[in-house]
Amino acid sequence: MQILLLNGPNLNMLGKREPDVYGSRTLADIERTLSTAAQAKDVQLVCVQSNSEHVLIDKIHASAADVNGIIINPAAFTHTSVALRDALLSVNIPFIEVHLSNVHKREAFRHHSYFSDIAIGTIVGLGANGYEYALDALIKQLQHS
């Protein structure tokens, strides 16, 4: 089984970026923890972060043949990107949406997501642990489908 972990803009700055909001763990640390957890379950995890919408879209298109599920934190694109939403719809790969912060407690413009209504589920506000919960849930979901 192969799972793609996609992280959007500014998430390469985790650890330095607003640590009171996003925590102190770096993206490399999160990816390492998740890859180890995936390996233990015989799952191959491919990790991609980009600040650019087209790189994320191209990666989703290229995943159509061999990726079984996606964990995505679209970051600021959550609230703006019809193009990224359409890319996920175009490949029909089941996905879970993750946000480190509780976007519903924050500014009004963060309350709307272009992804939540087409995701299997969403995990918000649980920090970096949210990615681990998403991996566990996605693997269980894929094993039972």
Q: What is the DSSP string of 48-72?
A: EE-S-HHHHHHHHHHTTTT--EEEE
Does 79 show up as a binding residue in the annotation?
yes
Cβ closer to ligand DQA: 49 or 78?
78
Phi, psi torsion values for 127, nearest 5 degrees: 65, -155
Return the range that interacts with ligand DQA (CB under 6 A); candidates 32-40, 63-71, 82-90, 97-105: 97-105
Region binding ligand DQA by CB under 6 A among candidate stretches 39-47, 74-82, 114-122, 136-144: 74-82
CB atoms within 10 A of CB 47: 18
Residue closest to 131 by CA, chosen among 44, 19, 10, 29: 29
Integer Cα distance of 108 and 129 in angstroms? 24
Mask: binding to ligand DQA, 3-32, rule CB under 6 A, as x and -?
-------x----------------------
Instruction: Examine residue 81 and tell whether it contacts ligand DQA (CB under 6 A).
Output: no
The question of whether 104 is a catalytic residue gets the answer no
Total residues at interface with ligand DQA (CB under 6 A): 10
